[in-house]
Amino acid sequence: MNVYKTITPSVLFFSLFLSACNTEDTPAAAATTEATVEESAGADQPLAVLYNFDDALDSTVKSASANVTLVGDGSDKSVKIDFLSKENGYSGITFKPESPWDWSKFDSFSLSMDLANDGEQSTQIYLNLKDGKGNVATRSVVVPRGGFKTYYAKLAGHDIESAGDADATELNFSSGLRSNPPTWRGEATHFIWMWGVKSLDVSQITEISISVQGAVSNKTISIDNVRLTENPTMDEEFLVGIVDEFGQNAKYDYADKIDSLEELHQVRDAELAALNGKPMVDRSKFSGWKNGPKLEATGYFRTEKVDGKWALVDPEGYLYFATGLDIIRLSNSTTMTGYDYDQEKINQRDDGDLTPEDSIGMLKVSDEAKKTRFVASKTRANMFTWLPDMDDELANHYSYRRAAHSGPLEHGETYSFYQANLERKYGETSPNSFLQKWEQVTKQRMLNWGFTSLGNWTDPRFYSNEQIPFFANGWIIGDFKKVSSGNDFWGPLPDVFDPKFAERAKVTAQQVAAEVQNTPWCVGVFIDNEMSFGRSESDQLHYGIVINTLGRDAASVPTKAEFSKVIKAKYDTVAAFNNAWNLQLVDWAEFDKGFTPGEITAAQREDYALLLELYATQYYRVVHDAVEDSLPNHLYLGSRLPDWGMPIEVVRAAAKFADVVSYNVYKEGLNKKKWEFLAEIDKPSIIGEFHMGAMDRGLFHPGLIHAEDQDDRAQMYRRYMDTVIGNPYFVGAHWFQYMDSPLTGRAHDGENYNVGFVDVTDTPYPEMVDAAKELGRDLYEQRYGDK
């Protein structure tokens, strides 16, 4: 495929993307053309053509676990990319010019390309762009099965006005949505922003990479006509009136959209008529495998290795595999409205609070505070076609967020359309009676859909239920000292050697114990979540906790003091230490005061690993002891290590003290090679979070893993679970989350993902429900039936 025939050809080259995980050279190459700049005659004409692949392949082309082939006849050629999953799920190619591209002469433009999917499954690709300052912008899109379509990533332009910043652009303007709706309508599909910076220095773009990440099977796409295109005229109201009275997309019609209260009730009645609240026929009282072997019954959940596979065992002694949904609560259903109140009228957080702000339920404000209501963000306030007046019967679904992780407002008024829809749906015969009905329906759904548990971040109101097991959770927060990994995504880490950390861990465990009440229906307890222990991209990121802590003063940083003891014990003299680390410290006093390590030596890397494991071991020891003391009958399930931050030293430390090691893994599934290390630690493991989402139901962001549509999403769910069930070390997996994120982003950080089993009107996605039921019916035979 080649649209542009008049470009003067010359050969550029691909270069291996330096930050790729495990790379390998292939004898493939791709012909490209020198970018010839021409004035745009419209949105469908190129400002510059970077590659049209019409010449012979060049031998300098390299790839990371991908085969690249030029296909087609004559001047009508494209490049076929076979992404190989055999290493660790990463596979990609990189475009890298001999000198950086300078695109600064263009005021409003996008990087566009034509993509086709030649494989058997939809393919999510990641687009990385890097500038000369080292900034990286990561976008992503799902390429459905079929022929060529155009995809674009906006790089500059579309000025908008925002309070206090009249020169803002859509790319760096913080709307409070993780991904905005497109700023124009057209046939092309925009790449979704994922992470990194939103605005690059377009005067020096050093490389462009396209990759598949976390794949469990090979993928194939074709690419053609990589070019710069002028952005069409901006829709000045692309963020205006995007939310209807039900919290749905007001500008987009789709299947199953609720258009009236009557329709909402019809959908409700049809579902309730089909729910029987009974578990599947092969389930024990605690949702274990009634048809399987009967093992020792202890009255509580425990672990055991059975026929070479790790398993949970339910209180009656039946084999148990955990499936279920996270976030069965309302605290993440609120979104910022753009309004705020006088802070002197708001009750602020107490230093002794045990619950993070984003986990607190609906936080009401006084009538006195409401009198001070003002518009804090006109852009956000204008997103809603309807918000209730303060005397409206649905005004009780207003809440308040005193601190946000990210977004346009540090604090402000919130509203929960999901909770308002529950009241609309189930009515209110007494204060909040609709929540009682929601709780009843939710439990019936979980059993009817074949799930065996309620996942992490379930509202404690469900803890007293005796129909389906649940997972409890707690957070260790307080005034203990902190350390940093240098890349603290959710926040700094605790100084685990500070005695106050152990004190707060005990308080947290005691609070969880008070909520759990020693019920046998509690499988176990997660404490904390996705801590930034370290990343794999470099030694500096991997050992960030150690490197940053070594630069601090041992007199005021307990973890540094412990590091000092270990190093001094290993090296008798500072001279020996200097020799090993290639340093020139004068004495141990200089070490204690804080220093900046130099280039990493082999001995240094070995010591870094030692100190990182020392830190992580202390963390898990302290938390384990607190849980053991207050919840002796319940499993300690670790801290849910994110797949982007699970250094092996930390995993080993977790395995020493956690009954089950937990991971949040946002990939297509479990890549066998990446998870081979489980054989080394030989401990039961559980997935705390994963999901897939699509954009065919009006939301503006599909989530971290993208599907083609709801059918594809359901199939991907099954394939993911198959990789978990087939792994002998995993004892369960929880989907994140029960309901979709708000269309305009959750109040905490703007996540606006289509990742729910139910939408904002509490209406189930039938495709996901059918997939869950199918999985549930086969679950135990698939896991334990094959001897």
pLDDT in tens, 725-747: 999 999 999 999 999 999 999 99
Q: Is 601 in the same domain as 641?
A: no
pLDDT category, 787, cuts 50, 70, 90?
A: low
Q: Is 569 in the same domain as 669?
A: no
3-state SS class at 169? strand
- The predicted model gives 569-593 an average pLDDT of 96
Q: Is 194 in the same domain as 225?
A: yes
pLDDT digits 0-9 by tens, 153-207: 999 998 876 544 545 678 877 799 999 999 999 999 999 999 998 889 999 999 9
- The torsion defined by the Cα of 278, 284, 289 and 291, in degrees rounded to 10, comes to -100
- The predicted model gives 513-530 an average pLDDT of 97
Q: Is 84 in the same domain as 195?
A: yes
Q: Is 414 in the same domain as 509?
A: yes
DSSP type of residue 229: E
Q: How far apart are CA 668 and CA 510, in angstroms?
A: 37
User: Does any domain span residue 565?
Assistant: yes
pLDDT of 170 reads 81
User: Does any domain span residue 338?
Assistant: no
CB atoms within 10 A of CB 350: 7
User: Does any domain span residue 672?
Assistant: yes
Q: How far apart are CA 425 and CA 435, in angstroms?
A: 11
pLDDT of 54 reads 79
β-partners of residue 92 are 64, 211
Domain boundary among the residues 200, 230, 260 is at 230
3-state SS class at 592? helix
Domain boundary among the residues 575, 608, 641 is at 608
pLDDT category, 351, cuts 50, 70, 90?
A: confident
pLDDT of 38 reads 37
Q: Tell me the two tokens of residue 588.
A: 């141990």
**Burial annotation 321-333 (CB, 10 A radius, 16+ → b, else e):** bbbbbbbbbbbbb
User: Does any domain span residue 643?
Assistant: yes
CB 103 within 8 A of CB 202: yes
- The burial class, CB within 10 Å (0-12 / 13-18 / 19+), for 69 is middle
State how far the alpha carbon of 177 is from the alpha carbons of 111, 338, 704, in Å: 22, 12, 14
Instruction: State the CATH number of the domain containing residue 208.
Output: 2.60.120.430
Q: Is 604 in the same domain as 635?
A: no
pLDDT of 658 higher than 80? yes
Q: Which of 44, 48, 39 is nearest to 12 (CA)?
A: 48
pLDDT of 717 higher than 90? yes
**Burial annotation 154-181 (CB, 10 A radius, 16+ → b, else e):** bbbbbebebeeeeebbbbebbbbbbbbb
Q: Is 291 in the same domain as 415?
A: no
Domain boundary among the residues 580, 608, 636 is at 608
3-state SS class at 70? strand
pLDDT digits 0-9 by tens, 477-493: 999 999 999 888 788 99
Q: How far apart are CA 462 and CA 313, in angstroms?
A: 21
**Burial annotation 29-40 (CB, 10 A radius, 16+ → b, else e):** bbbbbebeeeeb
Q: Is 65 in the same domain as 159?
A: yes
User: Does any domain span residue 258?
Assistant: no
Q: Is 592 in the same domain as 622?
A: no
Q: How far apart are CA 249 and CA 697, in angstroms?
A: 8
User: Does any domain span residue 19?
Assistant: no
309 contact partners, CB below 8 Å, separation of at least 6: 728, 783, 784
Q: Is 684 in the same domain as 767?
A: yes
CB 494 within 8 A of CB 477: no
pLDDT category, 235, cuts 50, 70, 90?
A: very high
User: Does any domain span residue 174?
Assistant: yes
Q: Residue 376: which domain range?
A: 349-353+359-535+613-785
Residue type, 466: E
- The predicted model gives 616-624 an average pLDDT of 98
pLDDT of 112 higher than 80? yes
Of the two residues 704 and 672, the one the predictor is more confident about is 704
CB atoms within 10 A of CB 610: 16
Q: Which of 193, 112, 208 is nearest to 152 (CA)?
A: 112
pLDDT of 649 higher than 60? yes
DSSP string computed for 189-207: EEPEEEEE-SS--TT-EEE
Q: Tell me the two tokens of residue 358.
A: 């984003």
Q: Is 478 in the same domain as 554?
A: no
Strand ranges across the sheet with 635-636 = 470-474, 522-527, 635-636
pLDDT category, 357, cuts 50, 70, 90?
A: confident
User: Does any domain span residue 330?
Assistant: no
Summary count for the chain: helices (H), strands (E): 16, 31
pLDDT of 36 higher than 50? no
Q: How far apart are CA 153 and CA 193, in angstroms?
A: 9
pTM listed for this prediction: 0.92
Largest CA distance in the chain: 80
Q: How far apart are CA 273 and CA 256, in angstroms?
A: 18
Total number of domains in the chain: 4
Q: How far apart are CA 595 and CA 116, in angstroms?
A: 52
Q: Is 294 in the same domain as 367?
A: no
Q: Which of 35-39, 335-339, 496-500 has the lowest mean pLDDT?
A: 35-39
Residue type, 295: L
Q: Which of 429, 425, 424 is nearest to 269 (CA)?
A: 425
pLDDT of 780 reads 98
